Structure 1
Amino acid sequence: MNRRSFFQSVGTLIGAIALLPVVGRAEGRRGGSTAAAAGPQLVDPKDRQALSVNYVELNTTLKDKALQNPRSGVQFKDQKCKACAFYQHDKETSAAGKKAAPCQMPFAGGKMVSAEGWCSSWAKKA
């Protein structure tokens, strides 16, 4: 590669990089990605991060009896995401036919958790 072709390649690369933000904004104006169009998504209980906190979409389906103990004076049957300090009630909506809202815990990754769900990070709402 000679000097002239090197600088032509670098110039083309810089031009392409400069156009990336413009293309991204155009995608947003068109309606965004198909994932955004699908509406709110629930956390997949089989996801690796969800498994690490024992997340289930329905607290009655938790199989590990050792985790089903009272916390902060709340019996396990009443420990649901909707009664958790990390559940964002003000953003509650419907996702996959279930009441759901975003969770502030990192495992949720911007997705919704089921109002009837549970995870080992459950904390009594103040």
Structure 2
Amino acid sequence: MENTNMNRRRFFTQILGVGGLVALAPALLKLSSAKAQEKRRSAAPPAAGGAMPMVDPKDPVAKAVKYVEDFKKAPEAKGNHCATCGFYAKKETRNGKEVGTCTIFAGKLVYADAWCASWNKKA
């Protein structure tokens, strides 16, 4: 009989432990996500004069999506470029070239004539 009680105690102790983890999981995930976002923001070097930096084609994210600064150099672009992408929004002109923001590269600018494998036709 005593062995059965011990198993019950262990069972309820484990249930309470799992229940506590389930209750804390959303808060822990939110905290982890906030730290990751802050780390990404601080990793981007500030551009001169406080302006947003340009995407570096050697950046790991840029490499992952095959980012190129000139769509004409990427045969798989098939004539598509950032200016015709749904993720792109024109921002300004730099060095005589149009640049804008892209949701793929938060906090950085891309050239309008650039392209990446995440290209998505504007609606």
Q: TM-score, normalised by structure 2?
A: 0.57
Give, in angstroms, the shift of residue 98 of structure 1. 2.1
Conserved in 2, the CA contact under 8 Å of 1:42 and 1:96?
no
Unaligned runs of 5+ in 1: 1-32, 70-75
Determine which structure has more spread, i.e. the larger CA radius of gyration.
Answer: 2
The structure with more helix, counted as a fraction of residues: 2
SS of the aligned residue for 1:46 comes to: coil
Q: Take 1:39 and 1:98, find their aligned partners in 2: how far apart are those partners?
A: 15
Unaligned runs of 5+ in 2: 1-44
Taking only aligned residues, the RMSD between alpha carbons, in angstroms, comes to: 2.2
Q: Take 1:34 and 1:109, find their aligned partners in 2: how far apart are those partners?
A: 13
**Equivalent residue in structure 1 for 2:57, among 37, 41, 45:** 45
Q: Take 1:59 and 1:103, find their aligned partners in 2: how far apart are those partners?
A: 15
Q: TM-score, normalised by structure 1?
A: 0.55
**Against the structure 1 CA distance between its residues 42 and 34, is the aligned structure 2 distance closer, same or farther, given a 3 Å change threshold?**
closer
The aligned counterpart of 1:84 is 85
Conserved in 1, the CA contact under 8 Å of 2:69 and 2:113?
yes
Give percent identity, aligned residues only.
Answer: 38
The alignment covers a number of residue pairs equal to: 79
Q: Take 1:97 and 1:59, find their aligned partners in 2: how far apart are those partners?
A: 17
